[in-house]
Structure 1
């Protein structure tokens, strides 16, 4: 599943991290639950007439309200200064497109299937790194990429009508854009802290989103506003859980917990929409998850070898 703000590469975890793996795993599990709940709210809001750009605006607004106290409680506002405003600007543009596509995919697809396709982000990021970062990818990771793509085809089942073609296309475009964001964050991570990157993304995105709201913003009934508020709260809680999990344990320990999102998505889909994933989803998702985990393990191993 695509995260609210994709994370830096494993080797860029904070140096001040505390080694409490069980607490880190718990924080990551809760973030997966909150993230799934956020996407469920996006789907509910869309069904009630909320434009996808409205959902993105309110999600980012909550991010702005979150990042200021996080910065004050952590490194301080002085640490938010940057010498790379144009890189942050390009990250914002790509990130906004990615988030909009991801939100739209959950509005168009069953929640479990959209979640499973979203697991392709690390696989596609590896593919993009070949072209954008000129990284060398060996036979192991090429094999993982092929397995992940096979898993997507199993989930989508082209031609059988289970998943709308438009929704599948939007989801895969969202995956590609989110993977591109992860590449940009990896570049920014050479000089910028994760807090700085997330802060400038949240703040700068309010400019184009504020303009968009002049055209798509609308009044809603109390129940719809409640769903929108929950969406923002769940998104903020997920972002906090992700941040804290990385302070408590290494990425290689907590990252596998993200895949529990499929369980929560299946349960929420059944409880709210009476929609249980078809067997093909349970067959294809492990292929996607396995390829992503293998790539994460392989990159972590290679990073350690490079460090000696």
Structure 2
């Protein structure tokens, strides 16, 4: 199925294992970017961190776009870029605002509810029937969220951390729709085009509030901003490449490797030890997502 879709879209087909490996590298780059952005969000606020990171990404992407002589997208594809870029802007500001207030691993674990939300979006938008196993998975995933929030309360992180967790959960709902758009976008646009227009449109969205909220970052933050922009651009290219060559159901589990990176970066950079309840809750959410993703007996994906 993935190979036929790849051939039909004009991209070279590759094995699913290769696509998974490339997507895993993309998630590793995104996780490193998350760690840099958490530090920047604490230092200069989520809005300014995102504004200058996406602006730097647009410059990098624009240079590559022109250098490779990429064609301007057709109106239908441009509308898809606008939709996903606008959605990503809202998703990012909520996520990084929340991430500045909760431990890195906890924030990533909470974001794992996105595939479960995607099930209900598929039912709403695509009129797919939600099976009993998917409902059971949703209950388990929601229980996992409660366990993580319970660990947060036990740790005494305070109301700011709770607000951050809620922001991340709302961001995860938006990301669920983003998963659907990512696959559609990857089949009609190349990785360079996707990465460039994502950065450009997100920058345009953030720039609307620039007269009221923006300020020039200190020189000490410039290397981290440039690094985050480069990591985001490379990650978007890698994930776009992978999603054009394999179905989302095969690549979705790769998202969970982000928890490993988040735990490592959180410990090494921010001194955040992973609490037992966070591990338990993350395992429950991941288990719920894998339960929901099991293939039906007739060979059709759920």
**Which of 165, 183, 186 is matched with 2:162 structurally?**
165
Aligned to 2:269, the other structure's residue is in SS state helix
Structure 1: distance between partners of 2:178 and 2:296: 18
| Aligned residue number for residue 257 of structure 2 | 260
| Aligned residue number for residue 144 of structure 1 | 137
Conservation of the 8 A alpha-carbon contact between 1:151 and 1:284: yes
Q: Is 1:209 paired with 2:206?
A: yes
Q: How many pairs are equivalent?
A: 292
Q: Structure 1 residues 223, 153: closer, same or farther in 2, change over 3 A?
A: same
Structure 2: distance between partners of 1:14 and 1:119: 27
Q: Is 1:30 paired with 2:25?
A: yes
1:150-174 superposed Cα distances (whole Å, 9 cap, x missing partner)? 1111111174335721111111111
Conservation of the 8 A alpha-carbon contact between 1:269 and 1:276: yes
Q: Structure 1 residues 21, 136: closer, same or farther in 2, change over 3 A?
A: closer
Question: What residue ranges of structure 1 are gaps of 5+ in the alignment?
Answer: 1-9
Conservation of the 8 A alpha-carbon contact between 1:13 and 1:246: no
Per-residue deviation, 1:294: 3.1
Aligned to 1:135, the other structure's residue is in SS state coil
Per-residue deviation, 1:220: 2.9
Q: Structure 1 residues 286, 191: closer, same or farther in 2, change over 3 A?
A: closer
Conservation of the 8 A alpha-carbon contact between 2:6 and 2:245: no
Greater CA deviation, 220-229 or 101-110?
Answer: 220-229
Q: Structure 1 residues 204, 232: closer, same or farther in 2, change over 3 A?
A: closer
Per-residue deviation, 1:43: 1.1
Structure 1: distance between partners of 2:173 and 2:3: 22
Structure 2: distance between partners of 1:300 and 1:214: 56
Structure 1: distance between partners of 2:153 and 2:235: 35
**Which of 267, 272, 283 is matched with 1:270 structurally?**
267
Structure 1: distance between partners of 2:179 and 2:51: 21
Q: Structure 1 residues 66, 87: closer, same or farther in 2, change over 3 A?
A: closer
Per-residue deviation, 1:19: 2.5
Q: Is 1:51 paired with 2:45?
A: yes
Per-residue deviation, 1:249: 5.3
Q: Structure 1 residues 100, 252: closer, same or farther in 2, change over 3 A?
A: same
Structure 2: distance between partners of 1:60 and 1:135: 35
Aligned to 1:58, the other structure's residue is in SS state helix
Q: Structure 1 residues 111, 304: closer, same or farther in 2, change over 3 A?
A: closer
Q: Is 1:14 paired with 2:6?
A: yes
TM-score by length of 1: 0.80
| Aligned residue number for residue 235 of structure 1 | 232
> What do you get for the CA RMSD once the two structures are aligned?
3.4
Aligned to 1:83, the other structure's residue is in SS state helix
Q: Structure 1 residues 128, 53: closer, same or farther in 2, change over 3 A?
A: same
Q: Is 1:126 paired with 2:123?
A: no
Aligned to 1:28, the other structure's residue is in SS state helix
Q: Structure 1 residues 126, 32: closer, same or farther in 2, change over 3 A?
A: same
Per-residue deviation, 1:102: 1.2
| Aligned residue number for residue 6 of structure 1 | none
| Aligned residue number for residue 36 of structure 2 | 41
Question: What residue ranges of structure 2 are gaps of 5+ in the alignment?
Answer: none
Q: Is 1:175 paired with 2:172?
A: yes
